[in-house]
Structure 1
Amino acid sequence: MRTGTWLRVIGGLALVTAIAIAIQFREHLDPAALEAWIGGFGVTAPLVFIGVYALASILFLPGMVMTLAGGALFGPVWGTLINLVGATLGATLAFLIARYLGADWVTRRLGGRMKQVVSGVEAEGWRFVAFVRLVPLFPYNVLNYALGLTRIRLLAYALATFICMAPGALAYTYVGYAGRQAIAGGEAAIQTGLIALGLLALVAFLPRLVKRLRGPSEWLTVAELAERLRADHPPLVVDVRSPEEFTGELGHIEGAVNIPLDQLEDRLGQLPDDRPLALVCRTDKRSKNAARLLRANGFGDVAVVRKGMTAWVEAEAPAEAGAATAPRQNHRTT
C-alpha cells in the first residue's frame, strides 16, 4: 500500500476515533461552563470561540449549543457574524477532510442510482448547497462530510454555506442573546424574547418558501429547444402530459417520450443517466413539478420548456413561413 493511502487510512481511523469519543461526552457539554471558559479569554474570546465552533463541527458536537453560546457571549449582531464564521470554517474543514480521505475511493466505487444521485448534486453545484443549507434535509455535520465526497467546487461550497446559513444563524443567535437577557431580567427581556420567537417562526417558514420559489434548473424557449434538437447530442424530450393529450390536439414533438407526471416516479428507470432531459407539457406547470421530482432523484441536467406545447405549436406558423430557428417537428394525430 502506498504512503498516501496509508496516511489516508490512519487519518480516517484517527478521525473516527475522535468523533466517537466526542459523541460519548456530548451529553456533558455545559453551555454555561462553555460561556464562562470562552469569556475568560478577553479580547481574543471571538477567535477562540471560532476555533472551538469549527472543531465542534468536525467532531459532530451539537452546533445549536455553540450558536446559542455565541449569542449569549457576543450579542445578536457580532454573535451572528462570529457564529457564521465558526460554522462555515468547521463546515469547510470537514468538507476538505472528506475530500482528502475518501473522495477518490468513493468516485471509483460509485455505480447505478447512487452515481446518478451524486452526478445530480454535482450538476446543481452551489445551488444544491444553498438549498440544503436553507432547507435542512440532512444534519449539518453529516452534510459537511457528504458534500466533500462530491466534486462541488470549494469556493462555491463555502460561499453558499456562509450566505445561506445566515437566516438560521441570526435566529438562533438571537435566542441565545434573549436567554441571557431573560436571566438578567427587566422589561427589555420580554421584547427581546418576542423578537427571538418571531425570528424562529420566520426560519421555520423559510423551507416552505424556498421549495415554492425554487424553479427548474434551466428554462428553454421552444426556439432554443429546436436548436438543441438539431445538435450532435440532443436532449431527450420527456412529455409529462397524459397519453390522450400526447396524441391529441397539440400533438407532440418528434422523438419525445411520453411519461405522465403521475407515473414519472415509478418510471425513472426508463430515463437515461447520461443524457440531458427537456420536459414539456401543455404549458409548463406540470413540467416544473416533474423537474423538482427528477432533481430529488439525482437527475441534474434537466430543463423545462417554457410554455410547453402551446408555444411549440404557436411557433409553427413562422416555421412554415421559413424561419430558420422555429420548430418544425410537431406531430399530430388526426
Structure 2
Amino acid sequence: MSVKKILLALVIIAAVVAAVMFDVTQYLNLDTLKAQQTRVNGWFEAEPLLTFAIYFIAYVLVTALSIPGATILTLGAGAIFGLGWGLLLASFASSVGALLAFLSARFLLKDWVQSKFGQRLEAINRGVKRDGAFYLLSLR
C-alpha cells in the first residue's frame, strides 16, 4: 500500500473516530433540528453566505463519511434556506459528498476490487478514464 493510500485511510479513520467520539449523530435528528431552527435562521439572517457555506461543508462531510443524518440535513436545508436554496444546497452537497466517498473508496480499494471483479468493471474503468468526474457524476 502506498503512502498516499495510508494517509487517506488514516484521515478517513480519524474523521469517523472523531464523529463517533463526539457523537455527531445526536445532533442529526428531527428534535435537534426543530430546537435549533430559530438559532440557525438567525445566523442565516446575519451571515447568509457563511451559514450556507458551513451547512454545505457539514452536509458534504456527513455524506462523504456515510454518517447517518443526511435526511435530516436535507429537511434542515429546506427549513432554513427555503425550498429553492435548500434544494440547491442539498442537491450539490449530497452529490459532492457522494463523489468524495466514491473517489476515496476507488482510490483505496481499486486494486482489491479489480482483482475480485475484473472483467465486470471494464466498462466503468473505460468511462472513468474517458470522461473522468463527469462520468462519476452521471453515475450518481
Question: What's the TM-score, normalizing by structure 2?
Answer: 0.71
Select which of 77, 82, 90 maps to 1:75: 82
Distance 1:82 1:60, change over 3 A: same
Displacement after TM superposition at 1:73 (Å):
0.7
- Structure with the greater alpha carbon radius of gyration: 1
In structure 2, how many angstroms separate the alpha carbons of the residues matched to 1:73 and 1:156? 32
Select which of 35, 40, 48 maps to 1:43: 48
Distance 1:99 1:160, change over 3 A: closer
In structure 2, how many angstroms separate the alpha carbons of the residues matched to 1:27 and 1:82? 20
- 2:104 equivalent to 1:97: yes
Displacement after TM superposition at 1:106 (Å):
2.8
Displacement after TM superposition at 1:43 (Å):
2.2
Select which of 52, 57, 63 maps to 1:57: 63
In structure 1, how many angstroms separate the alpha carbons of the residues matched to 2:70 and 2:57? 13
Distance 1:33 1:18, change over 3 A: same
Does structure 2 conserve the Cα–Cα contact (< 8 Å) formed by 1:49 and 1:86? Answer: no
In structure 2, how many angstroms separate the alpha carbons of the residues matched to 1:35 and 1:104? 48
1:20 maps to what in 2? 17
Displacement after TM superposition at 1:8 (Å):
0.8
Does structure 2 conserve the Cα–Cα contact (< 8 Å) formed by 1:57 and 1:90? Answer: yes
Select which of 3, 7, 26 maps to 2:4: 7
1:159 maps to what in 2? 138
In structure 1, how many angstroms separate the alpha carbons of the residues matched to 2:38 and 2:62? 15
Structure 1: give runs of 5+ residues left out of the alignment.
126-149, 162-334
Distance 1:40 1:8, change over 3 A: same
Paired letter, 2:113? V
In structure 1, how many angstroms separate the alpha carbons of the residues matched to 2:41 and 2:96? 18
In structure 1, how many angstroms separate the alpha carbons of the residues matched to 2:62 and 2:37? 12
Paired letter, 1:119? R
Displacement after TM superposition at 1:12 (Å):
0.7
Query: Counterparts of 1:141-160 in structure 2 under 5 Å?
Result: 153=128, 154-160=133-139
Does structure 2 conserve the Cα–Cα contact (< 8 Å) formed by 1:38 and 1:48? Answer: no
Query: Counterparts of 1:234-253 in structure 2 under 5 Å?
Result: none
Q: Deviations over 1:4-45 (max 9, x none)?
A: x02211321331232233245133113243773475252212
Name the SS for the 1:65 alignment partner: helix
1:33 maps to what in 2? 36
Tell which has more relative contact order, 1 or 2 (C-alpha 8 A, sep 6+). Answer: 2
Distance 1:36 1:92, change over 3 A: farther
In structure 2, how many angstroms separate the alpha carbons of the residues matched to 1:92 and 1:38? 29
